[in-house]
Structure 1
Amino acid sequence: MKKTVLITGTSSGFGAAAANFFVNHGWNVIATMRDISKAGDLQNSKDVLIEKLDVQDNTTIDSTIATGIEHFGKIDVVVNNAGYGLFGVFESASRDAIQQQFEVNVFGAMDVVRAILPHFRANRSGTIINISSGAGVIGFPMASIYSSSKFALEGWSEGLRYELASLGIKVKIIEPGGAGATKFMQRVGGEAGRLQYIEDYLPFLEHTGAMYGGMQGNSDPDAVDKVVDAIYTAATDNTDQLRYTPTNDIKPILDARRSTSEAEYHTFTRSIFEQKKEESSAN
C-alpha cells in the first residue's frame, strides 16, 4: 500500500516543494494550508488531498487528520513545516506578537502531533518530522524571539523522541538555512510592521541589516532541493538519526557551535555579528 504523508504549510516554500517531491516519488500527500485557494499545482494530482489546516485552530487539525485517514486509510509521516519568523530587537516586540510566534512555531506543531499520536500508537509506527532552523541551534541578532521558538521546538522534539521510541514512532528535526530561497523572508518583512520603533537601536539595526543583506546573498542556491531531499530522507531512511542539516550556508556556524569551546565560539560569532566599536562611534 502506498504510504501517506501529511505536510503543514504547503502553500509555498519548503512545504509546497516537499509535497510535490513526495507525490513524484509515489506517495499520497495530504497537503494542508490556511488558505486552500493557494494550492496551485498541487490540486492537479489524484494522489494529493488538499485540506484547510490552521495550526492555531484545533478543529481544523482534527478534521484534516480524520479526513486524511478516511481518504487514504493511514497516515505514515507528519511534517510540521508551518511557521514564520518575527525578526527585530526584543524590546520592540509586544507580548502579543511574541505569543503569536510561539503559538504557530511551537504550540501549533505540538497540537498537530498530539492529534496524530493516537493513530500512530494504534499502528505502532509513524514518523514526525519537525522543520526547525539554523536559528534553532544558535541565537542570531534580531532573532531572539524566532530563535527561542525554534530552540523550544528542538528541545521538545529531542525529549519526545525518547517517549515515542518504544512505540515504534520516530521523531526527526530538519535544520535548514536558505531562507532567502523561499517566501519566508517576505513574511518576515510583513511581520516587522508589528514592531515598535526604538531610536536607540538604530545603529545596531543598520549594522545588522547590512550584515543580513550580505548573508542572504550567500544563501545556498540549492537550498529548497536540499531541504526537500533531507525531509524525504528523514521519512524513508528508517534510522534513529534525529537531526539533518542540509544546506551549506548554515553548516559552518552550526559546526562551530557544536564542535568548539564556548570561548572559541563566542570569538567566532562576535567577528560575524557584533558591530565594531569604531564603527559604532562613527554613528
Structure 2
Amino acid sequence: MNSKTVLITGCSSGFGKQSAKLFQSKGWNVVATMRSPEKEADLGELENTLLCRLDVTDPQSIREVVDKSLDAFGRIDVLVNNAGISGVGVFEQWDEDSIHDLFDTNVFGLMRVTKAVLPVMRRQREGTIINISSLAALIAFPFASVYSSAKFAVEGLTEALALEYAPFNISVKAIAPGSYETSLYTSMDEGILANGDDQIRAYSAKLATKMNDNVTQMAQQGGEPSDPREVAEKVYECATEDTPTHNVCGRDAESFLQMKKSLSEQEMSQFISDQVVPKDV
C-alpha cells in the first residue's frame, strides 16, 4: 500500500473525479468526497479509494471525513479543495442569500476543510494543500462579479497560507483553470438571470449570449476542446513537484496571464470589454 494519501473534495464529476482517478492510477490512497456518494459508481470500485460524503458547508461531515481518512490510511499528505458552485449574472441580479451560498461553498467551505486538515499536516510536519481557483480569479470578467470575487479570495488566502505554514513544511498552492467543458464558469443559473428590472434583464441576456460565444471559443483553442484531464495532471504535478504558489492550466488561461503581464491595466480592461461587454444597452 502506498504511504501517500490525497483527500479531494467535489469528486462527483469534472476536475475532482479526474483527479481522483489519476492519483489512484499512480498508486496513491484516495479519499474521494462528494455530497451524494451513493450516486457514484466508478470511484467506489477502485482499489485504495475511500468514498465519503462531505458537504463543505457542514462542519460535522468535514470532521467525520478527516477521521475516516486517518482511520483508513493513517495520514493525509495532500488536500485538494475542488468543491465549488458556479454563478454568473449582473451584480444587481444577485440577492444576498445567493451571494452567501456561493461564498459559503467556494470560500468558507474551502476554509473549513483546510482548517480541519492543517493540524494533521502539522503533526506530520509535511503536507500540500491545492486550491482550485479559476481564470476568473486572475481577470475579473463582467457577468462574473460575485464568482470572481470569491475566487479572488481563494487566491489571496492561498498566498497568505503559503507564507504562514511554510515553517511547518506545508505547501499551499492554487490552480486557476481556464475554460473547459466541465467548467463551473460556463453554466448559467436561470433563477439569477431572471432577477432585476427590465433594463438589467435585457442587458444580462446580451451579456450571457456574448459570454457563451466567447467562452466556447476559448475552450476550443486550436480547434480542439480543452481536456479536463489537463487540470488533473496539473493537480498531480503540484502535489508531487516543486511548483509555484499560483498556477494556471489551459491554453486560454496561459494566454490571458501573459496578456495581463504585457498590457497596461487600461489596455487589458479595454480588451476584456471588447470581448465580452455588449455596447448596445
Q: TM-score range by the shorter chain?
A: over 0.9
Instruction: Give per-residue Cα distances to partners, 1:39-59, cap 9 Å, x unaligned.
Output: 220000121000000000000
- Gap change, CA 1:234 and 1:63, over 3 Å in 2: same
Give the letter aligned to residue 191 of structure 2. Answer: G
Distance between the aligned counterparts of 1:127 and 1:185, measured in 2? Answer: 26
Q: Look up the match of 1:261.
A: 264
Q: Distance in 2 between matches of 1:143 and 1:212?
A: 10
In structure 2, the gaps of 5 or more residues are none
State the Cα distance separating 1:136 from its structure 2 match: 0.8
Per the alignment, residue 276 of structure 2 pairs with 273
Q: Is the 8 A contact 1:88 1:192 kept in 2?
A: no
* Stretch deviating more after TM superposition (25-34 or 253-262): 253-262
* Structure-1-length-normalised TM-score: 0.92
Report Cα offsets for 1:1-59 as digits up to 9, x if no partner: 43110000000111011101111111110000001123220000121000000000000
Indicate whether 1:148 and 2:152 are aligned: no
Can you give the 5+ residue segments of structure 1 that lack an aligned partner in the other structure? none
- Name the counterpart of 1:201: 200
Question: 2:226 aligned with 1:228, yes or no?
Answer: no
Give the CA deviation at 1:240. Answer: 5.0
CA distance in 2, matches of 1:198, 1:78: 43
Q: Which segment drifts farther, 144-153 or 212-221?
A: 212-221
Amino acid at match of 1:16: K
Cα RMSD (Å) = 1.7
- Give SS of 1:151's match: helix
Which residue is equivalent to 1:4? Answer: 5
Q: What SS class does the counterpart of residue 42 from structure 2 fall into?
A: helix
Deviation at 1:140, TM superposition (A): 1.1
- Cα distance change, pair 240–166 in 1 and its aligned pair in 2 (3 A): farther
- Cα distance, 1:140–1:57 mapped onto 2, change above 3 Å: same
Aligned counterparts of 1:4 and 1:43: Cα–Cα separation in 2: 16
Distance 1:240 1:251, change over 3 A: closer
TM-score scaled by length of structure 2: 0.92
Amino acid at match of 1:112: V
How far apart are the structure 1 equivalents of 2:245 and 2:262?
A: 17
Cα offset, 1:225, TM superposition: 1.6
Equivalent residue pairs, number: 274
SS at match of 1:104: helix
Name the amino acid aligned to 2:216.
G
User: Aligned-pair distance for 1:249?
Assistant: 2.2
**C-alpha separation between the residues in 2 aligned to 1:183 and 1:139?**
16
